[in-house]
Each structure stands twice: as C-alpha cells, then as structure tokens.
Structure 1
Amino acid sequence: MQDARKLLPIQLGTQGRCLVGWLAHRHILVRFDRYDDYGLVVAKTVQYLLYNGLQKQFREFSWTIGFNPKEETSRAFVWISFPNLPPELFAKQSLITVNCLGCW
C-alpha cells in the first residue's frame, strides 16, 4: 500500500493531494482534493500502473453507497452537443446552471 500511495499520484499525473487506502480485496479507494484531478483520471478509458517493471492494468469508477466488490460495475459516457451555443456559455458554471424561465 505504501508503494501505491507514492506511485499513483505520480503516474496518474495529479496536481493536488490524493489519499489512497484499501476499500476491499483488489479495490483501492483514492480520494482527490481537486476536482480537476478526478476528471483527469476518470476521463481515461484504461489506466496502467508501472510497478516492479511490469504494467498492471486497472480501471477506475466512482464509489457509491451501494458499492459491492463482488458485483461487476458499469459505466457509460455521454456526449451532449449544443449546436450554435454562444461562446460565453461554454463556461462550466453556465452549462450546469438550471434556468427555470422556460420550465413547465
């Protein structure tokens, strides 16, 4: 575990701190203190950890309250397109803000 705590932040390319600990057999919990680091890690489809000269493949997913290490998890990425969106609305805050003027 000490090796994972040292290697993961470096090999994942995180900028902030991340806490690494055991979650269950063959499952490690990584908590990031920066949202950008979390986004960087989950955006990659395949991750590899270089350890003792060998590349170990792993995948990441968001932890949920109902997590069961014996069940296979699924994840789906969605691409949403906003044709003709004005440039000033490309900011993250603009995209996630709900405007209820046109709500039903």
Structure 2
Amino acid sequence: MAILATGQPNLEAGQSQSLHYDDFPPLNSCSKLKIGTPRLPIVPSLPNERECKIGLLRNRHVLIGLELQEDFINVMAKNIYYLLAKDGYLYTMKPLIYDAKFKVEEETTLTMAWISFPDLKPTFFVKESIFSLATAVGKPIHLDMATINKTRPSCARVKFQVDLLANFPKFMEMETVNEDTKETKIERVKIHYDRLPRYCLHCKVQGHAEEECRSIHPELHQYVARD
C-alpha cells in the first residue's frame, strides 16, 4: 500500500507480498467528435474485432461500451479515430475516459499514460510490486511486454490511469522488510512519466496548459505574413 511519508510517497513491501486486484469491470470510452453530429448507424475504426456497444451521447460525443480491459486499453492507446456515418461522411474523434463524473461541456482530466521506474531493481519486476509502486500516482493498468518478459532489466514500465490535476512526484521511497530478521531498508525509486498530456483549466481540454493557452495569451497566435 502506498502512503505519503515526509512529503514523499512511501511503500511498505514484504518479501512475500501478494496483492490482489479486482478484474476491470465493463469499461466505457467517450469519443469527442471534432465537428458535426453523425447520423446512425456509425462504424468506428476501433482496434478491436470484438463487438462493442456504440451510440450518440450528446453534444458531439459518442459513447463506446467495452467489455474487456484489453479492448479499453487498445482504444485509449491512440489519439484519434474515425467514424463512418450513415450520411457517408467520415468524422474524426478523440477518445476520452468516461465515468460518472464525465461532463460533456468539459474534457475529462483522466487519461492513460506510461510510467517508468528506471532505478528499480530487476528483483522487483513482478506485477504486484510494480502495481503497488504505481498506485502512488494513479491506477495501474498493465505492464509492457519487456517488463513482463524481463528483457529490459534497466527499467520497469507500466501503463496507468491518472488524473492530470493530481501531483506527480519525481521520486518515491520503497521500504522493504526482511521477514526473517525484521530489518527494514529504504530505497529511493525514480519516477519518469512518458509523454503525459497537459490540461488547461481555462479551456477545460487536454493538450495544453494555461501558460500555453492562446485564449489567455492571444499574443501566442502565430500570424503568417501575407505577400
């Protein structure tokens, strides 16, 4: 279990640690259309061959119901998809995580990204240990294949779900306990966030922060000189 101690995330882990995580429930992805509202039926270009439930929500949003965690991960792995509607038009859409707090007038602050632990010893390259570390910053989803197969001992990598408005520590302390001698040892583990998107509280969208917002800072607009 990850807790905060002395301002840093802290994890207590025994040598025989065995944590149990519930299977993911049916998952939803809400895709925001760039422009327009398509006519039903619609055919998405999703990266899964299994059947999914899809329908218009409201205000340029399409709700996609997925039953398997694998499909949810695959859908959220890309930044853009296309919808072929009954009217023959191809609509672009941006996938977003849908939950009970979702607001159609705002883009959610939840996203999925990769997190790496470059200083973690290969002896801790097991799902239970890495998932416990990842809970300090978000909700762990799955490990990458190099971590599972232990073919990249220099770095452990896990995909996780995170709130973009949360704090993102750069280090965490991992306390290991020798269950025979009861001796404890504290190790500092570095946290690296791979291409984490930014969130603008003014526009309520993912992709940029307030200091990059052209609505707040109109001087950031680039004007093209005309001949």
- TM-score band by shorter chain is 0.5 to 0.7
Cα 1:22–1:78 change in 2 (3 A) is closer
- Structure 1 partner of 2:41: 3
Cα 1:75–1:65 change in 2 (3 A) is closer
- Structure 1 partner of 2:69: 35
Structure 2 counterpart of 1:102, from 153, 175, 188: 175
Q: Does 1:63 align with 2:98?
A: yes
Q: Distance in 2 between matches of 1:87 and 1:2?
A: 52
Q: Distance in 1 between matches of 2:111 and 2:70?
A: 20
- Structure 2 partner of 1:86: 122
Give percent identity, aligned residues only.
27
Cα RMSD (Å) of the superposition?
3.3
Structure 2: gaps spanning 5 or more residues: 1-38, 134-173, 177-185, 187-227
TM-score, structure 2 normalization: 0.34
Shift in Å at residue 38 of structure 1?
0.9
Structure 2 counterpart of 1:15, from 45, 49, 65: 49
Cα 1:78–1:19 change in 2 (3 A) is closer
- What's the CA shift string for 1:46-100, capped at 9, x where partnerless? 2122442x432110111122222122445555432222553882x65553246xx
CA contact (8 A) 2:76 2:96 kept: yes
TM-score, structure 1 normalization: 0.65
Structure 1: gaps spanning 5 or more residues: none
Cα 1:102–1:85 change in 2 (3 A) is closer
Q: Which structure's residues are more often helix, by fraction?
A: 1
The structure with more radius of gyration: 2
Amino acid at match of 2:66: F
Shift in Å at residue 25 of structure 1?
2.6
